[in-house]
Structure 1
Amino acid sequence: MMKATIKDLDLKGKTVLVRADFNVPLEDGKITNDKRITAALPTIKYIINAGGKVVLFSHLGRVKTEEDLETLSLLPVGNRLSEKLDQDVYFVNTTKGEELESAIEDLKNREVLLVENTRFEDLDGKKESKNDEALGKYWASLGDVFVNDAFGTAHRSHASNVGISEHLPAVSGFLIEKEIDFLGEAVLNPKRPLVAILGGAKVSDKITVIESLLEKADKILIGGGMANTFLRAQGYDTGKSLVEEDKLDLAKSLLEKGKDKLVLPVDVVAAKEFSNDSEHAVRDASEIEADEMALDVGPKTVELFEEVLKDAKTVVWNGPMGVFEMSNFAQGTIKVCESLAKLEDAITIIGGGDSATAAEQLGFEEDFTHISTGGGASLEFLEGKELPGIKALNDK
């Protein structure tokens, strides 16, 4: 998947429209984690150093009401970005119109401007999220070239990524280039054995990923709530555990198709209530009691997973092994994270989402080869789907 990158363009004197991912967590108007801003810096600095004018677009949250216009402004992002770049970042608190056009026209080479939250356009008929043709064309008219560096929205066809791409030379930034390199290699040309670890609550969220990986991976380790559906499909009593009854036949067919490729929990941490304070105990997978629910994988399962992982050369992990937010049911996720961090001769990739949060919180961020910036996008990429935001970019 050879897409043109920012290095393929002459940017001097050009107005460069950049779709970044500044969808950062906010609390009382304050940014609580600025990793996404930091991740965008290499692309922004490259344009500055090349003598271009930077115009940044991003969404923030979901805009549904007039109140959201007050609480979901990108102004705090502009302020934080200014600190990180050590230069002024001009902020325009509108998404279109004369004020925005004049501000962009007045930009000098190496200056940076941030446009207000693109999803403010969603109050008027979801124009951003539904890739309104006129909106994409209008935004494209504000610049000379387009750089998409927001992998987190690459699986969505929005006006601010696909829409702009249709009207300008469109290339990837360094972040998307890195995602394509790592995830693409893991899927299309992995060093083997390739082991996938899939967790999270539901089989239905990851059906197509499992089906796709059954053809590509050497082993697939299943944890989290989704493992319960597979355990029930094997005929085990899973008590009050979360089980997708309507997916049992599918789970059976995946087990038949996958045979020994699919590795399921052999024991679990079970509790009577969905609460960190609930009484809990380790049970064999076949011995969950009627009034219990499985909330984490158990120690024997961790050992089993570690045995599989020790020979792996490529590992892709998406989804926690249990209810990671509760300390009593976080050990499975922690142990898997530790096992991956210790692998010395393997390419280890986290597919964003809760797995990435776990690695960051546990201090293992630097021990992974790559942590994806897009949970949903990385999942669809692993499925082998063509992501609209990447498909729209020019080929090399």
Structure 2
Amino acid sequence: MLKEFPREFMMGAATAAHQVEGNNNNSDFWTMEHVPNSMYKEPSLEAVDHYNRFKEDILLLAKAGGNTYRFSIEWARIEPKKGFFNQEEVEHYREVLQYCHEHNVTPIVTLHHFSSPKWLISEGGWESEQTVQYFERYTRHIVLELGELIPYICTINEANMGKQIKKIMKRMEQKLNSSSNEKSDGSVQVGLNMDMKTKMKSYYQELGKAFDMDPSAIYTYLMPRSEQGEKIIMDCHQQARAIIKETAPHIKVGITFSLYDHQTLPGGEESVKKEQYEDFLCYLPAIQEDDFLGVQNYSRKIHGPDGVIASDDTTRLTKMGYEYYPEALGNVLRFVVKHWQKPIIITENGVSTDNDKERVEFIERALKGVQDCMDEGIPVIGYTYWSLLDNFEWQLGYEQTFGLIAVDRETQTRYPKESLTFLGSHIKSVIKKDSSSLK
């Protein structure tokens, strides 16, 4: 049985702009979705029209009892052309933030959730040192315009994702000349299309044209991330943090990481240490001045003498191909607290499944792990389930179903699931709303 959470605990759900808003046509992902021979199974198009229906979606969350909403501001909307800031888009996000406050929902804003302005990629993207200055400028603009409405900022979503994608793409490259394509095994916590053998070269050529870049440069961009790129990402974070602290010191600043529960069998200890260092520990020097850490977890990896052990026919899998293992979250929190004693927000945790009873079970077991960790003294201050809505899962398109709310994309009608009712009922019973606490 779940116990009561502390009154101040933040509980809710999360989204990312490109995955839900629709018509993000100045972004790099929109370009990648629409070129000939695209690796994307389908384009995002109108997505689930959250851009126009955010009030309906936030209200569904709030009426269910949710008191927190994590969402991203889309850089490609704010600065669609280099140096040009679109005030209408700034006002759109002002309206989103104000609507959250009006309904006693604490907004947690992510400044960069994977998607970037198309022009940024043409300028060299996240492998160019200039990007640090561009991100700094964008951050300053957001904070000056909207900072008074923002209590929490995640600068960059899953800053370690480049390494995780690089690992799986290296394995995929090794398969290119084999007789079969590698299928998803859940070894990276984002939607990647593995059916790439026949498309890859032509895809790079088309992207080179679209971004006005040499195809070899595009290859570097799509194979994130070099050591230089790793440094640039963390420089962007640190510069953004400095600007936020200088401009709006009331805002709590953090970053999010994709973290697995790494478990070891005899002989797998060195493999675990290596992955834990690459996933998290190597970033510690750059985040020491942060106010909180965003932890994102979906599953575990089991390591043996030869590295990660593949799942077998007896393993319970999610629709994404991850092992169904909600207890991973609590284990990750226990690992993190050994190296990080400041507040932790679980900024993503969830499951893709067509059986919503599995989602209810997942949430209950994951939250039990969170409560156990809090009882042990781990400073967890929030949990935002991924995702509020069934949405666009990057290269995999719309086939994945993480959401607490289903959407008929022909009519954009919302259908709240039992899991939203479960999460919301639990929140209402343990968290008393108090509008006077919002400032």
Larger Rg: 1
Higher normalized contact order (CA 8 Å, seq sep 6+, divided by chain length): 2
* TM-score w.r.t. length of structure 1: 0.32
* TM-score w.r.t. length of structure 2: 0.30
